[in-house]
């Protein structure tokens, strides 16, 4: 489905950039950049949510109050989620609407996040596996060995740091993550040998809150389609309060409003 949405806009953009005679109402580079950014944002958001869950797990296993732990688990992992200890780590399990178990294994080696190497394996749809390796100064490298996003195979390599702030109700938190790195997804729905590759890399560290979305940062996005022989570059700057992005494409800038982030 991703390719369908991108290509519809891509044809519009090609017509615009090549100065062919095109009805003005359809020749919209704004539509194109909006489509590419929204697709890239889905990839970014997926990876961000994985990192947020890792931080939540690290915070959650330190909660000693059983009632508070249950409320926190319900809020962030689902009302049917069950947390159990495993050799060298933890398992979070919940079920689909038809009763299929979905499991996330967190191997922590008995250490808090950032103090020893962790590994995570998720067995549901959009499955993933990653290792989390301390880099010093509170920074952690998240390297994915398996990653699927909306049926596209993907890869991500991220360096991040995090903060957890407790909110007044005690069963809620604000997690802030600052990161740099890249996410790349590969869509082969039209052609196995000529895929569409969507790459999103930070050009300035990105800060995101699980309560408020993107706070700051910059991205470089490349949409490379081997099937149509096209390659486009976009540059995205993130703003907050109010939240919007500025996307630059072929020297023109477009403001896109909306809540972006988690």
pLDDT digits (tens, 9 = 90+) for 44-89: 999 999 999 999 999 999 988 898 899 889 888 888 899 999 999 9
pLDDT at 26 exceeding the cut of 50 = no
Q: What share of the chain is helix, strand, coil (3-state, %, to 5)?
A: 25, 50, 30
What pLDDT was estimated at residue 43?
Answer: 95
Q: Is the pLDDT of residue 129 over 90?
A: yes
Q: What is the pLDDT of residues 84-111, one digit of tens each?
A: 999 999 999 988 888 888 999 999 999 9
Going by pLDDT thresholds of 50, 70 and 90, the confidence category of residue 23 is very low
pLDDT at 151: 74
Indicate whether 25 pLDDT > 50.
no
Q: How confident is the model at residue 169 (pLDDT cuts 50, 70, 90)?
A: low
**What pLDDT shows up at residue 170?**
59
Long-range residue pairs from 96-103, CB within 8 A, at least 24 positions apart, any chain: 96/124
Report the pLDDT value the prediction gives residue 96, as an integer from 0 to 100: 80
Nearest to 177 by CA among 116, 132, 111: 132
The dihedral region occupied by 143, where left means phi > 0, alpha psi between -120 and 50, and beta the remainder, is beta
Mean of the pLDDT values across residues 156-179?
86
Measured at the CA of 235, the angle between CA 233 and CA 238, to 5 degrees, comes to: 150
For residues 170 and 185, the answer to whether their CB atoms sit within 8 Å is: no
> In which band, very low, low, confident or very high, does the pLDDT at 177 lie, cut at 50, 70 and 90?
very high
What pLDDT, on the 0 to 100 scale, is given for residue 176? 96
Could you give phi then psi for residue 197, rounded to 5 degrees?
A: -115, 125
The string of pLDDT tens digits covering residues 211-238 is: 889 999 999 999 998 888 889 999 999 9
Q: Residue 5: pLDDT band by 50, 70, 90 thresholds?
A: very low
pLDDT over threshold 80, residue 240: yes
């Amino acid at each position: 489905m991703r390719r369908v949405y991108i290509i519809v806009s891509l044809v519009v953009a090609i017509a615009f950039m090549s100065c062919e005679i095109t009805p003005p109402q359809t020749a919209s580079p704004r539509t194109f950049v909006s489509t590419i950014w929204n697709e890239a944002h889905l990839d970014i958001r997926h990876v961000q949510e994985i990192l947020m869950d890792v931080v939540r797990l690290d915070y959650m296993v330190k909660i000693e109050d059983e009632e508070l732990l249950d409320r926190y688990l319900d809020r962030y992992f689902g009302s049917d989620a069950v947390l159990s200890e495993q050799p060298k780590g933890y398992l979070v399990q919940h079920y689909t609407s038809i009763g299929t178990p979905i499991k996330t294994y967190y191997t922590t080696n008995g250490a808090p996040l950032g103090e020893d190497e962790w590994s995570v394996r998720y067995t549901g749809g959009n499955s993933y596996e990653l290792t989390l390796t301390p880099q010093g100064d509170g920074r952690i490298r998240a390297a994915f060995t398996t990653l699927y996003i909306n049926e596209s195979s993907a890869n991500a390599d991220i360096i991040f740091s995090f903060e957890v702030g407790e909110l007044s109700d005690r069963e809620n938190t604000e997690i802030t993550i600052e990161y740099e790195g890249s996410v790349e997804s590969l869509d082969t729905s039209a052609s196995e040998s000529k895929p569409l590759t969507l790459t999103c890399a930070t050009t300035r560290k990105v800060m995101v809150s699980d309560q408020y979305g993107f706070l700051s940062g910059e991205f470089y996005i490349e949409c490379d389609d081997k099937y149509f022989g096209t390659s486009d570059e976009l540059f995205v700057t993130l703003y907050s309060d109010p939240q919007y992005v500025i996307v630059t494409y072929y020297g023109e800038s477009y403001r896109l409003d909306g809540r972006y982030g988690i």
